[in-house]
Chains A and B, each alone.
Chain A
C-alpha cells in the first residue's frame, strides 16, 4: 500500500466531526465558574466595605481624640467612608441585576460574564483608589513634619502596591475572556 492510499482514507473519512459538545457538562462547568466568581466577588466586596469603615473610623477617632488639626487625615477618613458607601451601593445594584438572568445555560453564562466584568471593574477601582489614599497619607505625613525618608518610603510602598494590583486585574480579565470564549462555543452547531 502506498502513502496515497493512506491519504485517501484521511480525506474521505476525516471530515466527519470527531467530537460533539456535551451541553449538560458545559452547563455544569459554567455554573461552577459562576459560583466561584460570585463567591470571590461577595467576599472581596464585604472585606473592602468592612476594612474601609474600620480604617476610616480609626483615623477619624485618633484625630478627634488627639484634637489633631491635620486636615488631610480628616479628608482620608471621609474618602474611606465614601468608598465604603460607593461599594455598598454597587453591591446592592449588582445583587439586584443578578435576578435578571434566566436559568438557561446562556443565562448562567451571561451572569458569569457580568460577574467577571464586575470583578474586573472592582479591581480597577481598587487599583486607582491607592492614588488618593497614598496622596492623602503622604500629605498628612508632610503636614506633621515627618522626615523625607519616611515620606519617600511610603510613596514607594504605594507605587509598588499599584504595580502589584495590575496582576490581580489581569487574572480577572483572563477569566472574563475565558467565559466569553465559552459563549462563542455555545454558538457552534451541535
Chain B
C-alpha cells in the first residue's frame, strides 16, 4: 500500500470514527493527561494497522478491535504519563464545551469500575455489537462473551437502580 493511500484512509477514519475513539478514551482513561496519552497511542496504532486492513471486516469493527486492544494494553502498563504537579502541561485533547448529560457521566464512571475486558464488552454491548462480533474483536469465545455480558448487565442494572433511588 502506498503511503499516500494510507494517509487518505487514516484521515477518513479519524473524521468518520473519532467519536468512537473518544468513547474508548473516556472509558479507559480518567485524567486529561491519560486521555491525551491514550488518544495518541490509539492514533499511532490505527495508523500502523492500515496496511493490515484487508476489508474482511467493516472499518468500525476494525477500528474498535485496534482501539480496544490498544486501550487494554495501555491500561495494563504499570506507569502511565507522570507529570510534575508544578509543571504546566498542555493537552492536545480537551474536554468538549458541550455539557454532557450527567447520566452519561455516571454511566462512564460505572464502566470505568469494570476490569479492562469487561469495559470493552460494555462498550461493544452499548454500541449494539453481536456476541459473534465481540468474540472476533476481543479474541474470546462466544459462550464466554455471553456469560460475561449477563454479569455486566446485572451489575450495571443493579447500580442503575441504586442511582435512581438516590435521585428520587
Contact = CB atoms under 8 A, between A and B. Distances in A.
Interface of A: 1-3, 5-7, 9-10, 13-22, 24-26, 28-29, 177-178, 180-181, 183-185, 187-189
A16 B96 CA distance: 9
A17 B14 CA distance: 13
Main secondary structure of the interface of A (DSSP, over half): helix
Contact of B93 (A22, A177, A180): A22
B43 interface: yes
A10 B156 CA distance: 13
Given A10-B104, A25-B90, A26-B92, A177 B48 contact: yes
B126 A19 contact: no
Interface in B19-41: 19, 22-23, 25-26, 35, 39
Contacts of B107: 6, 9-10
B91 A22 contact: yes
Contacts of B25: 18-19
B156 A3 contact: yes
B137 to A, nearest CB: 18
A6 B156 contact: yes
Interface stretch (B53-61, B64-72, B75-83, B157-165): B157-165
A116 to B, nearest CB: 13
Contacts of B100: 13, 16, 18
A158 B3 CA distance: 32
Interface of B: 3, 7, 10-11, 14-15, 18-19, 22-23, 25-26, 35, 39, 43-44, 46-48, 90-98, 100-101, 103-104, 107, 126, 153, 156-157, 160-161, 164
A19 B19 CA distance: 8
B116 to A, nearest CB: 20
A184 B48 CA distance: 13
B47 A20 contact: no
B161 to A, nearest CB: 6
A17 B7 contact: no
A21 B98 CA distance: 14
A188 B46 CA distance: 15
Contact of B96 (A6, A20, A180): A20
B94 A184 contact: no
B90 A13 contact: no
A7 B156 CA distance: 11
A19 B95 contact: yes
A7 B100 CA distance: 16
A15 B20 CA distance: 8
A9 B163 CA distance: 14
Nearest to B14: A188
24 contacts: A5-B160, A6-B107, A7-B126, A10-B107, A10-B126, A13-B101, A14-B23, A14-B104, A14-B126, A17-B18, A17-B98, A18-B19, A18-B23, A21-B92, A21-B93, A21-B94, A24-B90, A28-B90, A178-B44, A178-B47, A180-B7, A187-B11, A188-B11, A189-B15
B35 A6 contact: no
A18 B101 CA distance: 11
A18 B29 CA distance: 13
Nearest to A24: B90
Contacts of B91: 22, 25
